[in-house]
């Protein structure tokens, strides 16, 4: 039996009583990941220091950049803290950021730059349209003050994937720094960080690697980060100081979420068992295909065109029926231990269903059966 099948059998057999989370995170995690947290380990313990080192290395491997001049910097706090750490630490006082926006997470980066008093421009595409390299090229030609470009890989608002490689080649070709928010895609969609010319990629513990919340991380091109001394706008979120601290003695500058880090180490071992990022991508794709086929059969319509949709999370339009009330629909699924997610699209009423976390096509079929039942009950 290949390891991924063994892992599946173990995962389904040891489910526990928790609700299944069809969301963008926190996610359903394996029992082994949860159990790893049942111990207290000091943050200066040799074992903990070794685990942190291994996590940093395994993340480089997951991004295809081990031994290629990149480092992993783990930062306490959720994904937003990681993003704020990068924006606040790597852009010089006279730098200018261009944010490519086609959803709520792109807009949040613009808001973050404003709070940090970083000079910022945005390039806005509709929420159902991937960013276009030609538009980015034009924006850069029009504004030579721009030094850094930031984009979201999987815009979790809709589930759309942006063409990060094409845009990365353009940004790097002009000698600019490239920042990618890969929060909901890293570990679940194969991404070659070097080929995409990414200088800073940010993700967090409770997404596709299937750990629990508690920290974020940035995979950084060493040469780029080395040039940022003195730029940090925060003490605790200083990205370069955090890396130098980890390198000096393997320890964090401030208390790390030890239990979450232990869980993450186990989650990375399970990622390897599943066949690495490629294996996990295949499972998410199976989940996604099962979901969309089943939802269509029940009469639901996706917000995005299929060719634009990534396998991470799908936005579905509210059915056109006076009997459909999202609150009721959500609550009825929740009563059956199934948790879906509200929508975030600004120009259409939608809800979202995620395919990530320790869920299998069997789970998706289980969700579809309950959706069918609830649909009949509500009469929409
Ligand atoms: C693309 C993207 N960026 C940023 C975030 C924010 O992460 P957090 O809620 O962990 O701060 C999320 C969360 O889902 C996300 O999907």
pLDDT tens-digit readout, 210-259: 999 999 999 999 999 999 999 999 999 999 999 999 999 999 999 999 99
Ligand 1 pocket check for 80: Cβ under 6 Å: yes
Q: What is the pTM of this model?
A: 0.98
Residue 1 has pLDDT above 70, yes or no: no
CA of 100 to the centre of ligand 1 (A): 16
Residue 359 has pLDDT above 80, yes or no: yes
Ligand 1 pocket check for 184: Cβ under 6 Å: yes
Whether residue 126 contacts residue 150, with contact meaning beta carbons closer than 8 Å, is answered with no
Show the tokens assigned to 148: 């850094």
Residue 2 has pLDDT above 80, yes or no: no
DSSP assignment of 240-251 equals HHHHHHHHHHS-
CB neighbours of 294 closer than 8 A, spacing ≥ 6?
A: 364, 365, 368, 371
Ligand 1 pocket check for 181: Cβ under 6 Å: yes
Pick the CATH number of 33-271 from 3.40.50.300, 3.40.640.10, 1.10.3720.10, 3.40.190.10: 3.40.640.10
Hey, which of 156, 160, 189, 342 would you mutate to test ligand 1's pocket, going by the most ligand atoms within 8 Å of its Cβ? 156
- The alpha-helical segments, DSSP class H, found in the chain are 3-13, 31-35, 46-62, 79-90, 104-115, 133-142, 164-173, 222-226, 239-249, 258-273, 276-297, 326-335, 361-378
Show the tokens assigned to 316: 């579905």
* 80 Cα nearest atom in ligand 1: 11
pLDDT tens-digit readout, 328-354: 999 999 999 999 999 999 999 999 999
Residue 349's φ and ψ, nearest 5 degrees, are -80, 115
Show the tokens assigned to 335: 């009563």
Q: What is the mean pLDDT of the chain?
A: 97
- Rounded CA separation 292/229 (Å): 48
pLDDT of residue 16: 87
CATH number of 3-30+276-378: 3.90.1150.10
pLDDT tens-digit readout, 164-189: 999 999 999 999 999 999 999 999 99
- Rounded CA separation 248/245 (Å): 5
pLDDT tens-digit readout, 111-158: 999 999 999 999 999 999 999 999 999 999 999 999 999 999 999 999
CA of 359 to the centre of ligand 1 (A): 20
Protein residue whose Cα sits closest to atom 10 of ligand 1: 79
pLDDT tens-digit readout, 5-35: 999 999 999 988 999 999 999 999 999 999 9
Hey, which of 75, 106, 204 would you mutate to test ligand 1's pocket, going by the most ligand atoms within 8 Å of its Cβ? 204
Ligand 1 pocket check for 185: Cβ under 6 Å: no
pLDDT of residue 3: 86
Q: Which of 52, 346, 310, 317 is nearest to 205 (CA)?
A: 52
The domain segmentation of the chain, as residue ranges, is 3-30+276-378, 33-271
Pair type for strands 177-181 and 148-152? parallel
């Amino acid at each position: 039996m290949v390891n991924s099948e063994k892992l599946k059998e173990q995962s389904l057999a040891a489910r526990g009583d928790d609700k299944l989370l069809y969301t963008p995170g926190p996610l359903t995690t394996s029992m082994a990941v949860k159990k790893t947290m049942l111990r207290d380990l000091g943050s200066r313990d040799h074992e903990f220091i070794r685990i942190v080192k291994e996590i940093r290395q395994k993340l480089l491997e997951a991004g295809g950049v081990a031994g290629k001049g990149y480092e992993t910097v783990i930062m306490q706090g959720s994904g937003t803290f990681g993003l704020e750490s990068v924006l606040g630490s790597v852009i010089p006082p006279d730098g200018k950021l261009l944010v490519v926006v086609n959803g709520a997470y792109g807009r949040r980066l613009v808001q973050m730059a404003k709070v940090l008093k970083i000079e910022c421009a945005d390039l806005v595409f509709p929420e159902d349209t991937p960013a276009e390299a030609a538009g980015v090229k034009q924006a850069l030609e029009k504004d030579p003050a721009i030094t850094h470009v930031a984009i979201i890989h999987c815009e979790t608002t809709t589930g759309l994937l942006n063409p990060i490689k094409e845009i990365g080649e353009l940004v790097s070709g002009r000698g600019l720094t490239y920042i990618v928010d890969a929060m909901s895609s890293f570990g679940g969609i194969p991404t070659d960080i070097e080929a995409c010319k990414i200088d800073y990629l940010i993700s967090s513990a409770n997404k596709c690697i299937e750990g629990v919340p508690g920290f974020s991380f940035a995979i950084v091109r060493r040469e780029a980060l080395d040039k940022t001394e003195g730029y940090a706008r925060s003490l605790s979120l200083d990205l370069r100081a955090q890396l130098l601290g980890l390198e000096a003695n393997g320890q964090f500058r401030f208390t790390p979420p030890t239990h979450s880090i232990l869980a993450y180490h186990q989650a990375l071992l399970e990622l390897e068992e599943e066949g690495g990022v490629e294996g996990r991508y295949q499972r998410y794709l199976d989940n996604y295909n099962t979901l969309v086929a089943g939802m269509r059969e029940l009469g639901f319509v996706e917000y995005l065109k299929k060719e634009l949709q990534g396998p991470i999370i799908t936005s579905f339009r509210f059915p056109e029926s006076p009997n459909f009330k999202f609150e009721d629909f959500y609550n009825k699924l929740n009563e059956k231990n199934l948790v879906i997610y509200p929508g975030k699209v600004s120009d259409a009423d939608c809800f979202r269903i995620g395919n990530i976390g320790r869920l299998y096509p069997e789970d998706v079929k289980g969700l579809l059966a309950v959706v069918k039942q609830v649909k009949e009950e509500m009469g929409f």
